[in-house]
Amino acid sequence: MLLEVRNLHVAYGDAPALWEAALDIGAGQIVSVVGPNGAGKSTLINAIAGILRPTHGEIRIDGAEIARIPGYRVCDHGIAIVPEGRRLFTHMTVLENLELGSYRGAARAVRDEGIEEVFSLFPILRERQNQISGSMSGGQQQMVAIGRALMARPRVLLMDEPSLGLSPAVVEDMFKIIRMINERGVAVLLVEQNINKALEIAHHAYVIEQGRIVTSGQPSTLLSNPRIREAYLGI
């Protein structure tokens, strides 16, 4: 397994938000985590990214334990995040955001190639490279956020609600991009409320409810589960 999460507990202060989470991502896989608002999806993804510190449990990438290392060193293990709401460095240019994505060691050494790759994936960003990122449209900001994460040369790309706040056409493009990134060999952990889309694209999926992973399996199996159909798809 490329990424293994075992018995992960996360709390905000005294308030627990995630219990006993376990999750596997194989090399080159797209894994989706679906569930309602406030179920703990972002908590899970932020804990893997090193933004939240777990109170208990293990996160291993290629066997290396990363749950206890300083947050700023998690990205050295090939983990990068496209956070919910994008969270760009909005007062900086597109190019500066991309540069900061490759702040650490190995990624910095191949920064120029990385920027070329991001520009070939999102040609509009080449034209807009000197624009202040905060002044761009939502879809373009999402491109910058994905580009910034790719600059870190991730083995696992964590994507937290990438379709949130985007128009349907742009959402369609976003999922195409996710597939393209995955075809380049990057594993993707996708957290989404857009369950149809998230299950359609995934190799494997987890359902999370009230801080616990309640079921997992092949997307087709989950889609045929009557309880899930009723709870999430309204059919």
Partner 1 sequence: MSFTLLTQSAVGGLLLGGIYGLLALGLSLSWGLLRLVNLSHFALAFLGAYLIYHLGTNYGVPAWLSALIILPAFFLVGLALHALFVHFKVSEFASMLVTFGLTILIESLIQWIWSADFLKYETSYAQESLRIGPLYVPILELLTLVAAAVLAAAAWFGLNRTTLGKALRAAAHDGPIAAAFGINAKRLSYVLAGLCAASAGVAGLFIALTSTLAPSQIESWIGVVFAVVIIGGLANPVGALAAGMLIGVSEALTMAVVNPAWAPLVAFSILIILLLWRPKWL
Contact (Cβ atoms closer than 8 angstroms) between residue 54 and residue 227: no
Q: Which one of 31, 74, 187, 195 is in contact with partner 1 (CB under 8 A)?
A: 74
Q: Which one of 100, 110, 124, 170 is in contact with partner 1 (CB under 8 A)?
A: 100
Q: Does 49 bind partner 1 (CB under 8 A)?
A: yes
Strand partners, 122: none
> Which x/- pattern over 146-165 shows residues binding partner 1 (rule: CB under 8 A)?
--x---x-------------
Cβ proximity to partner 1: between 10 and 201 the closer is: 10
Which pair of tokens denotes residue 161? 């609600």
Q: Does 81 bind partner 1 (CB under 8 A)?
A: yes
Q: Which one of 12, 62, 64, 71 is in contact with partner 1 (CB under 8 A)?
A: 71
Rounded distance between C-alpha atoms, residue 202 and residue 194, angstroms: 12
Rounded distance between C-alpha atoms, residue 92 and residue 133, angstroms: 6
Rounded distance between C-alpha atoms, residue 78 and residue 156, angstroms: 6
Contact (Cβ atoms closer than 8 angstroms) between residue 117 and residue 146: no
Which pair of tokens denotes residue 28? 């080159």
Cβ proximity to partner 1: between 35 and 50 the closer is: 50
Q: Summarize as ranges the residues that interact with partner 1 (CB under 8 A).
A: 49-51, 70-76, 80-81, 83, 87, 89-92, 96, 99-101, 103-104, 108, 148, 152
